[in-house]
């Protein structure tokens, strides 16, 4: 068992003492003339699950993409372990919203999870034993062994989410950037995903996810960043998700 888990580094926090591993300083992102995000300042560490909360168009997806290095910053800094994030790296796994994924794409669950190894192997190189073990471990840890030969399009929404998370595990990503992972899941699938994210965080990853349901945010996340183009609040769930703040941000009483 020990041997298997060695494929994932759990040392995310160990080398860094009390320092925050992800620091965002005064971040702004604009798409041409549209300001999507302004003045974001947060510091957080592996082991945390951070919810991004805010109305439609508040900049949640933009922040996830920006942390992943997929959209350029207009100003400010994103630091991962003290180094400026300017482009995508293997440390980050970004999962787009469901509707942005082409579910008709013919690929098996195992094939999808194998894609997590391509940043290491390149598309042309043969899979090493280590790559195969990493894929096996990822499938195993997300309970996808029995589904590995199935087509992605044939799975339920919850199973599809798990397949994408397994790809991130095979990639050995430390930061999981998830765009509305709970949307469209039934209660059981949502509970399963909630447990899974708790486990992935406990293993030393940083989970950052946009989320719409303020009630379940209390159980599913440790910290909350409330966005409305500008940063409204950041802190622990209990500190931040007060009825006053919610009605101010969403312009509706709870």
Ligand X SMILES: Nc1ncnc2c1ncn2[C@@H]1O[C@H](COP(=O)(O)OP(=O)(O)OP(=O)(O)O)[C@@H](O)[C@H]1O
Tell which positions 183-212 bind ligand X, by CB under 6 A.
210
Is 141 a binding residue for ligand X by CB under 6 A? The answer is no
Strands 223-228, 22-31: pairing kind: unpaired
Which H or E element spans position 215?
A: helix 214-220
Residues 50-69, one symbol each (x = binds ligand X by CB under 6 A, - = not), give ----x-xxxxxxx-------
Is 181 a binding residue for ligand X by CB under 6 A? The answer is no
Is 160 a binding residue for ligand X by CB under 6 A? The answer is no
User: Could you give phi then psi for residue 114, rounded to 5 degrees?
Assistant: -60, -30
Cβ proximity to ligand X: between 147 and 177 the closer is 177
Is 249 a binding residue for ligand X by CB under 6 A? The answer is no
Only segment of 10-18, 29-37, 123-131, 170-178 that touches ligand X (CB under 6 A): 29-37
Q: What is the rounded distance in angstroms from the CA atom of residue 180 to the CA atom of residue 161? A: 11
Question: How far is C-alpha 226 from the geometric centre of its chain's CA atoms?
Answer: 16
Are the C-beta atoms of 197 and 166 separated by less than 8 Å?
A: no
- Interface with ligand X (CB under 6 A), residue from 34, 43, 238, 254: 34
Shortest Å, Cβ 209 to ligand X: 12
What is the three-class DSSP state of 95? strand
Are the C-beta atoms of 227 and 67 separated by less than 8 Å?
A: no
Size of the site for ligand X (CB under 6 A): 12
Binding site for ligand X (CB under 6 A): 31, 34, 36, 54, 56-62, 210
């Amino acid at each position: 068992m020990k041997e298997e888990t060695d494929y994932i580094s759990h040392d995310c926090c160990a080398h860094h003492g009390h320092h925050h591993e992800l620091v965002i300083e005064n971040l702004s992102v604009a798409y041409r003339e549209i300001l999507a995000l302004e003045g974001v300042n947060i510091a957080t560490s592996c082991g945390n699950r951070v919810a991004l909360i805010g109305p439609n168009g508040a900049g949640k997806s933009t922040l996830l993409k920006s942390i992943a290095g997929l959209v350029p910053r207009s100003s400010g800094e994103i630091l991962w372990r003290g180094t400026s994030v300017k482009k995508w790296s293997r440390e980050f796994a970004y999962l787009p919203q469901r509707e942005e994924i082409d579910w008709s794409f013919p690929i098996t669950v195992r094939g999808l999870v194998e894609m997590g190894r391509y940043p290491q192997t390149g598309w042309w190189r043969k899979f090493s034993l280590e790559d195969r073990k990493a894929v096996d471990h990822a499938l195993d840890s997300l309970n996808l062994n029995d589904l590995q030969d199935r087509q992605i399009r044939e799975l339920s929404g919850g199973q599809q989410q798990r397949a994408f998370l397994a790809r991130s595990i095979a990639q050995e990503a430390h930061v999981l950037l998830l765009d509305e992972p709970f949307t469209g899941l039934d209660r059981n699938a949502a509970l399963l995903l909630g447990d899974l994210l708790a486990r992935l965080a406990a293993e030393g990853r940083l989970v950052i996810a946009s989320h719409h349901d303020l009630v379940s945010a209390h159980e599913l996340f440790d910290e909350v960043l409330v966005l409305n183009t500008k940063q409204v609040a950041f802190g622990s769930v209990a500190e931040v998700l007060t009825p006053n703040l919610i009605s101010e941000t969403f312009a509706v009483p709870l």
